[in-house]
Amino acid sequence: MKIAVVGGGIAGVAVARSAPDGAQISVYDAHPERSSTRVATGIVNPVVLKRRRVVWRAAEALAVAADFYPSEFRSSEPIYEVLRSPDEVNDWNALADHPALGAYLGALSDVPAGISGLCLGAGDRVFDVVVLCEGYQARWAEHFWGELGFARTSGQGLRVALSKEPGVMMHRSHFLLPEGDGTYQLGASYGWGISSGTVAPPVPQPSQTNELLESARSWISADIEVRSAWTGIRPTMKDRRPRWGWNPQHPGLGLLNGLGSRGTLHAPLLARELWSSQAV
């Protein structure tokens, strides 16, 4: 079987890596400078921390992701939530007994240096099959499936250096993620108004940089030095549900898109389900 995968982001990689044994796979990608996966930080996080709820199909997705990603690409370190008031600490402790959330919430620990808070909560070839994994652009996917229901969102993040290094992954208003070279990724912002897949990601905006820094300085007491800024567009759906499956009018034409900000978590699970439902 010859398989063409259109799009080399996390969705396309998951589809290619989960394809049937013996398949001949070709991946086509336009290599856009600021594609979603290229600028994503790659967190496999089963909890929506701001709203304190479990991500859609989190347990299934985590189980598949554990087998999908090679050990050398994974970090077993926890993500810490910065808790800044007694009420937040009490709420965290109460959530530890929640039937869905409790499995993902760890014990409290002291804040590291530089953080303000009470504690941390731990093109002419013929193919048998073509799978479209185009991300937010989705030109071919929407040609064959019609309107998919995108609510594309832009985001800006910063690569920063801190005068005191906490050395762990944390979240408060945004994620702070160590890169291993002494710098951290801070972000990302969340903005609406991307009208279509033809829109290019915006260039970094000073206003967005200031917004991220102002937010970060409310809980990071260390000095923050901005090294660079990046932007991207998330392939988010209006209903927050990805799109995957096979086209009923065109046998052999598949789709995996709309992973939004949870692509690293959901891509392996949905790629596996895509191939298990293949009817060609």
H or E segment at 108? strand 108-109
In this prediction, residue 279 carries a pLDDT of 57
Ranges of each domain in the chain: 1-75+123-151+235-280
Full pLDDT tens readout for the chain, 280 residues? 999 999 999 999 999 999 999 999 999 998 776 678 887 777 788 888 777 788 899 889 988 988 888 877 776 678 888 998 988 888 888 888 887 788 888 888 898 888 888 888 884 456 889 999 999 999 899 999 999 999 999 999 999 999 998 989 999 989 999 998 999 999 999 888 898 888 888 899 999 999 999 999 999 999 999 999 999 999 999 999 999 999 999 889 999 999 998 899 999 999 999 999 985 4
| Two structure tokens written together for 169 | 């992954």
In this prediction, residue 46 carries a pLDDT of 82
CA neighbor of 156 nearest in space, from 205, 225, 197, 216 = 205
DSSP β-bridge partners for residue 237: 150
| Two structure tokens written together for 188 | 């990302």
CB 115 within 8 A of CB 219: yes
In this prediction, residue 135 carries a pLDDT of 94
pTM for this one? 0.82
Instruction: Report the Cα–Cα distance between both ends of the chain, in Å, rounded.
Output: 11
Domain 1-75+123-151+235-280 has CATH 3.50.50.60: yes
Residue 170 CB burial class (10 angstroms; 0-12, 13-18, ≥19): buried
In this prediction, residue 123 carries a pLDDT of 45
